[in-house]
Structure 1
Amino acid sequence: MKKTTFLLVFFLLGIALMAQSTYKVDPAHTSINFKVKHLGITFVQGKFEKFDGAITGEPDKVEQARIYFNVETNSINTSVEARDNHLKSADFFDVEKFPAMTFESTGIEKVDDQNYKLNGILAIKDVSKPVTFDVKYGGTVTGQDGVQTVGFVATTTINRLDYNVAYDPDAATIGKDVVITLFLEFKKSSDK
């Protein structure tokens, strides 16, 4: 009886997973951006150029979706080569030792028809911590290529010291808080 019950549960779980769609990030229409205060008077902005990610679920059931993201730390770009090289060093991201940052969702809460709270685990360097993104759902359309495309804007603020990005720990020059803004488009994958 136990074996039959296990097989039935496994079969039903398999059907549920097959019924879900996968939407892969469209790198041509997605950007991973950040800004941090400099000298306490203005901001330095940057982005990461290489990443991948996906949503498993359906746009009309956002709360049930699962989301993951992977960002190559070596792809950081602040438009100043010397600063980028310093950010890649052990003072900041230590890209040789920690080549990726990752995010995996743990739950999504609906605020209203366009706004959500995306909860998950953000891993930077050797630290994994819970984080919540404020997400605005932009909608779902069929793109010029005939593929269903879904769009979001997600924002959060983290303390870089919490993730051992601890250069200038007193924040005399570089602020502790990092504002992250993601402009996201995902395309429905034909892969199942």
Structure 2
Amino acid sequence: MALFNRKHADDTRSATTATVPVDPALAALTGEYTIDPSHSRIGFSVRHAMVTNVRGSFGDFEGSLTLDGSAPENSAAAIDVRIAGVDTGIGDRDGHLRSADFFDADRFPLMRFRSTRAEQLGGDTYRVTGDLTIKDVTRPLSIDLEFNGSATDVYGSERVGFEGGAEILRSDWGLTWNAALEAGGVMVSDKVRLTFDISAVKVAAPQG
């Protein structure tokens, strides 16, 4: 199901394309969606002491999706993550992550992502590219996602779901704190795996 087009949204107004029949099921997904944080998860994992992985999540975030089934190139995503919500299950470690050694949450309370383009890789798999801002650094990030489908929940709300992930080097965003190990290597890997499991609810159209 093609939710996104390979063209950058800003280019579509001047582009000339062939007319393609619109899939009615796809067109029905068109609209604004609010990400439901109670049924979504933004997680991460990073190698610790060279031998195991520390896993955690950001539990406080909000975001939106704009899906256009008739003109998929107009689809977009935006999300704001509050650094204070970082949770690895260990309070002291979470406090260290919020400190100036890492995210410096007092000065930079939000991590932001704004999409700039999207493309279909095949079937229900997509790559969404955008700008990720951590602290005072903004760099491009590509996220591979699988569209899990749509459904109407027990409360009558229309939902869509996506899941996927990406890998980043935290040093690209200025997160460089580390400690050397006596046996060699470092305490925290530079590579971080991000995971996304997103459920979004369609915003009801205003009643005219």
Q: When the two structures are superposed, what TM-score results if normalisation uses the length of structure 2?
A: 0.79
- Whether the aligned pair in 2 keeps the contact of 1:63 and 1:110 (CA below 8 Å) is no
Q: Does 1:74 align with 2:81?
A: no
Deviation for aligned residue 1:143? 1.1
What is the rounded CA distance, in whole Å, between the counterparts of 1:42 and 1:61 in structure 2? 45
What is the rounded CA distance, in whole Å, between the counterparts of 2:197 and 2:69 in structure 1? 17
Q: Deviations over 1:80-111 (max 9, x none)?
A: 00000111000000000000000000011001
Going from structure 1 to structure 2, the CA distance change for 1:110 and 1:154 (only over 3 Å counts) comes to same
Equivalent residue in structure 2 for 1:112, among 119, 122, 126:
122
Structure 1: where are the runs of 5+ without partners?
1-8, 10-19
Q: Does 1:190 align with 2:204?
A: yes
Equivalent residue in structure 2 for 1:124, among 121, 129, 134:
134
Structure 2: where are the runs of 5+ without partners?
1-12, 14-29
- Whether the aligned pair in 2 keeps the contact of 1:62 and 1:108 (CA below 8 Å) is no
Going from structure 1 to structure 2, the CA distance change for 1:28 and 1:62 (only over 3 Å counts) comes to farther
Equivalent residue in structure 2 for 1:175, among 189, 193, 199:
189
Q: Does 1:88 align with 2:102?
A: no
Going from structure 1 to structure 2, the CA distance change for 1:149 and 1:62 (only over 3 Å counts) comes to farther
Greater fraction of residues in helix: 1
What is the rounded CA distance, in whole Å, between the counterparts of 2:166 and 2:77 in structure 1? 16
Q: When the two structures are superposed, what TM-score results if normalisation uses the length of structure 1?
A: 0.85
What is the rounded CA distance, in whole Å, between the counterparts of 2:48 and 2:69 in structure 1? 38
Q: Deviations over 1:102-133 (max 9, x none)?
A: 00000110012210011000000110000100
Equivalent residue in structure 2 for 1:156, among 156, 162, 166:
166
Going from structure 1 to structure 2, the CA distance change for 1:60 and 1:80 (only over 3 Å counts) comes to farther
Residue identity (%):
32
Please tell me the residue identity of whatever aligns with 2:100.
A
Which residue of 1 is the match for residue 47 of structure 2? 37
User: RMSD across aligned C-alpha pairs, in angstroms?
Assistant: 1.8
